[in-house]
A and B are shown apart, each in its own frame.
Chain A
């Protein structure tokens, strides 16, 4: 009889049932979609960070931030014998430089050992982040009537015997090319920038490569520059044998650097001594990350220690906007709609109880207990909630499906590839600014708990409405109820 009465009441009040169910359905659908999108954005953020920092890296330790222009920027100096002059008088200039990244100081390599020895640190490895800049070009023979310093803005130092003043510039052609180089410890595979890559051709660096002029290239960089395994790539004026190509485990992002070489070789080629740019740290447990971060900050006070969550906040681009939009607008919108839906359900249920005063008064008069009346009201509300939940689930799943079919792409620019500070064109200097923005496909993954939570929310909303309605029905005195409608 309980179910018959319940079914008849709900079908007899289709308008109210539809409004309450629709309100809850919209709220539940929003909750599902916003949660899925949040998970999708989180995945995208992790993807963007992993491509730079590697899987399993909990903390990164970098040198202190430098003031813009503090390191002076790139400068190409050509002496008297800086170029080869052909018979027609054309001088060919070529110079390759390997410099540490601007904007941050380096850390002594011993820092890696210091950090490894700390409690809660599972493993640590250092990497030296470099930028290889190549200047190459041709200068035609200086006109007989003299000319300006041919290198001009390109930065060639004037020769002592060069003609000064008067005349015109004879023309020239210059290429400036730069790519990123990461010196890594080839013996450490589990943490660091190469822990998340997959080898697409050849092999990865291994412990035997220490001290060897070998390199592994990012597959995308290799393709765009016609480089392949077995060939060579010029790094800091030294030909490095290409032994492998790697790509990010995510098909939509590039790896952290264009070229990977052994750390000791990188230090030697850059002439920077025994230093590293970044130390990648893996904590023993996820719970201990904060403690390890604090320990490292004490042990290496001049360094900047960042956790993955700190790094996540540095991801810029439309991914950042999407995160902000979903976290702020999406979440609040879900909460607001859910609250409105619950309030709507409560108000409709209470107004329904008021409208049914005679009915409940009669039922109490014929012997129905308060508990039985409350169960009836709560049951009706809960079924309304379940109907709303089922419809909301369907709409939510449809929304998720639509997002996954449309697969919108968003850009992400991790802050690890900082813009070069200082320098800039002028005075023969070149800033090697590298800002890697990657497009990431946004997906909306469906997790079982979201479905459970959606059904739970629907039932809870129904129960809240039922509790209010039932409370009101229970308070009805049968005598007063019948007197008020007599």
Chain B
């Protein structure tokens, strides 16, 4: 399989801290029970890092990923993405950050079943306000990059799990984000498909894209340049 790579300039963010988290805590209420998944996270992630976050189920991994993805705000602590204060930003500002700087990949792919692969990728470009020609080029590049140029007109139901996840990755990278966040991206895939996706993610990281992956899979973690473990609401680096 030939993979053409998108244009990602690694010098933009390499070696510079992208994320800065200090004393980040998150509390929420679930059925009259107060849950404290994060009690005090201090963390810096540099541009070009390939970071995995591991930990027990219910340990706060997904919560941390949502904070990193500007989907939610911390209850306390400081948290920035570049120059943007994610803890104090408005919903609109968080939406703009998600639209331009963050790509998401989900365990369940989260593609829209009624749309084709190219249309699903195009959905990621919708908030950018690009003209139609530019969007067409970006969609075609992204699909080619994940090796699905010939499947552009297929709907998710007509694609395998691995292919669907590649469409999801294409949707995430078409906007040329600063960071790609993935929540168990290989959780629904068999071993060969998992390796296919990991190769793809690895290649994107090699091109300079910062990757933060929440995973239970040690095969994924082995590929990472930095391995973090989240336990009892706090994080520690277990990279050797």
Q: Given that A12-B113, A483-B62 are contacting pairs, would A366 and B119 also be in contact in the complex, using a CB cutoff of 8 Å?
A: no
Residues of chain A at interface, number, CB under 8 A: 27
Given known A359-B112, A365-B104, A367-B100, contact A4–B71 (CB-CB < 8 A): no
Contacts of B112 in A (CB 8 A): 5, 8, 359, 362
Complex CA gap A138/B104 in Å reads 112
Closest chain B CB from A475 CB (angstroms): 12
The proximity string for A residues 39-71 relative to B, scoring 1 for CB distances below 8 Å and 0 otherwise, is 000000000000000000000000000000000
Select one of B71, B113, B171, B175 contacting A482, CB under 8 A. B71
B205 to chain A, nearest CB (A): 20
The reply to whether A369 and B127 contact each other, CB–CB distance below 8 Å, is yes
Q: A478 and B71: CB pair below 8 A?
A: yes
Interface stretch, picked from B91-99, B140-148, B226-234, is B91-99
Report the nearest B residue to A5, measured CB to CB.
Answer: B115
When each residue 460-486 of chain A gets 1 if its CB lies under 8 Å from chain B and 0 otherwise, what string results? 000000000000000001110011011
Task: Name A481's closest neighbour in chain B (CB-CB).
Answer: B71
Q: Which A residues are in CB contact (< 8 Å) with B104?
A: 362, 365-366
B72, B91, B113, B126: which contacts A368 (Cβ < 8 A)? B126
Q: CB distance A366 to B99 under 8 Å?
A: yes
The answer for the CA separation of A4 and B69 in the assembled complex, in Å, is 28
Q: Chain A residues near B92 (CB, 8 Å)?
A: 369
* Residue in chain A with minimal CB distance to B71: A479
Given A367-B96, A369-B95: A12 touches B114 (CB 8 Å cut-off) = yes
User: For residue A359, which residues in chain B have a CB less than 8 angstroms away from its CB?
Assistant: 110, 112
| Interface bracket on B | 20 to 34
Tell me the complex Cα distance, A358–B168, Å. 14
Main secondary structure of the interface of A (DSSP, over half): helix
With A1-B119, A482-B66: A8-B114 Cβ-Cβ less than 8 Å: yes
**B48 in the interface, Cβ–Cβ < 8 Å?**
no
User: In the complex, what distance in Å separates the CA atom of A479 from the CA atom of B64?
Assistant: 11
Query: Contacts of B72 on A, CB cut-off 8 Å?
Result: 477, 479
> Which residues of the partner chain A approach B95 to less than 8 Å between Cβ atoms?
364, 367-370
What is the chain A residue whose CB lies nearest that of B96?
A367
- Fill in one digit per residue for A1-16: 1 if any B CB lies within 8 Å of its CB, else 0: 1001100110110000
B91: A residues at CB distance < 8 A: 370
Quick check: B119 and A5 within 8 Å, CB to CB?
yes
Residues in chain B near residue A229, CB distance under 8 A: none
Asked if A486 and B71 sit within 8 Å, CB to CB, the answer is no
- Whether the Cβ atoms of A9 and B71 lie closer than 8 Å is no
Pick from A366, A372, A477, A486: contact of B171, CB under 8 Å: A366
Query: What residues of A have a CB within 8 angstroms of the CB of B171 in the complex?
Result: 366
Which residues of A lie under 8 Å from residue B110 when comparing CB positions? 358-359, 361-362
A341-382 contacts to B, CB under 8 A, are: 358-359, 361-370, 372
A-B contact pairs, 6 of them (CB 8 A): A1-B126, A358-B110, A364-B95, A367-B126, A372-B126, A372-B127
6 pairs of A and B residues whose beta carbons are closest in the complex: A367-B99, A12-B114, A367-B127, A8-B114, A479-B72, A479-B71
What 18 additional pairs, Cβ within 8 angstroms, besides A5-B119, A8-B119? Answer: A4-B119, A5-B123, A8-B112, A8-B114, A8-B115, A358-B108, A359-B110, A359-B112, A362-B104, A364-B95, A366-B123, A366-B172, A369-B127, A477-B72, A479-B71, A486-B107, A486-B108, A486-B183
**Chain B interfacial positions (CB closer than 8 Å to A):** 62, 66, 69, 71-72, 91-92, 95-96, 98-100, 103-104, 106-108, 110, 112-115, 119, 122-124, 126-128, 171-172, 175, 183
